[in-house]
Amino acid sequence: MKDNINAGPSQLRRLLREDIVVAPGVVGGIGALIAEKRGFKAAYLSGSQVAGMMGLPDLSVTTMNEVAEEVQRITAISRLPLIVDVDTGFGEVVNVIRTVRVMEASGASAIHMEDQELPKKCGHLNGKKVIDRDEMIRKISAAASARKNEDFMIIARTDARAVNGLEDAIDRANAYLEAGADAIFTEALESKEEFEKMRKQVKGYLLANMTEDGKSPLLSVDDLRSIGYNIVIFPLTAFRTMLKAIDSIYADIKNYGTQRNSLDKIMRRAEFYDLIGYYDYEKEDNVFFEIKK
């Protein structure tokens, strides 16, 4: 059986000191294993994906416990440090305190929390509203104080760019760092120049969101490294790819009554068993069976 003990917050801190951290959005524990197989050093869990897997919109309809359960499933099987989207912290200051404690206990290495009003929206949609800056500062301060492990990272996300403009987003970013945030996630920047300006005027770790069909240009990891960003997430790329693949194979089965012509699209049994370490589990079971005898 594979030794998949989660690396934890200290590992994420170490990675940040070495190079830009690239964290693809992972679909469950199996997605984390594939990311690990492909050489990624960190992973990301999107709140939109948690909702999407249940067929729900990203409108604050999921609960803290639903996100925590998914975190536990991923960190129980993967070594990768996991960055987790906790929306607005699931409420006010007292809710934020509990959210931090639950996510830390569930195995997350970092969370990001945004300054939107409830009900929140996807960061790249119109019609968002942001809370007062001082209210977010109180939530960040509470989050930083609530963690047990100082390496557990509090990433403050601001959605102010689309609401009040870039200067307010920069002002908020610096205030959030001063309040105790370990990194800043400025959502929905609209050009490479805005990413560069954010880097010049905010003196802390910065996270970039490279989501498809959003307001931000799709900059490469090398682009973001050269600008000076520290973390890049691809939150829904794998999830949306999976949906497209599922739609395609269902269409084939419906149209042709068989999957015979689509076997090249499918991960075959042997590859799947190798990925999950099936035979390692079987050997482990046999060992304990012999001991029991």
The residues annotated with a catalytic role in the active site are 44, 58, 85, 87, 112, 114, 122, 157, 187, 209
Spatial separation of the C-alpha atoms in residues 229 and 110, rounded to whole Å:
17
- Integer angstrom CA distances of residue 197 from 163, 189, 209, 225, 226: 18, 10, 16, 14, 13
| Number of C-beta neighbours around residue 118 at 10 A | 13
**Minimal CA–CA distance to 116: which of 83, 156, 88, 84?**
88
Instruction: Give dist(CA 183, CA 203) in Å, integer.
Output: 10
- On whether the CB atoms of residues 44 and 233 are closer than 8 A, the answer is yes
Q: Which residue has the tokens 């490479």?
A: 192
- For 229, counting Cβ atoms within 10 Å of its Cβ (0-12 exposed, 13-18 middle, 19+ buried), the class is buried
Q: Dihedral sign, CA of 157, 162, 166, 171? A: negative
Query: Which ranges in 189-260 belong to alpha helices (H)?
Result: 192-201, 221-227, 237-256
Give me the residues paired with residue 241 across strands: none
Distance of CA 19 to the CA centre of its chain: 18
Look at residue 47 and give its three-state secondary structure: helix
Backbone angles phi, psi at 61, to 5 degrees: -95, -15
Chain centroid offset of residue 274 CA: 26
Per the structure block, which two tokens stand in for 33?
Answer: 């294993």
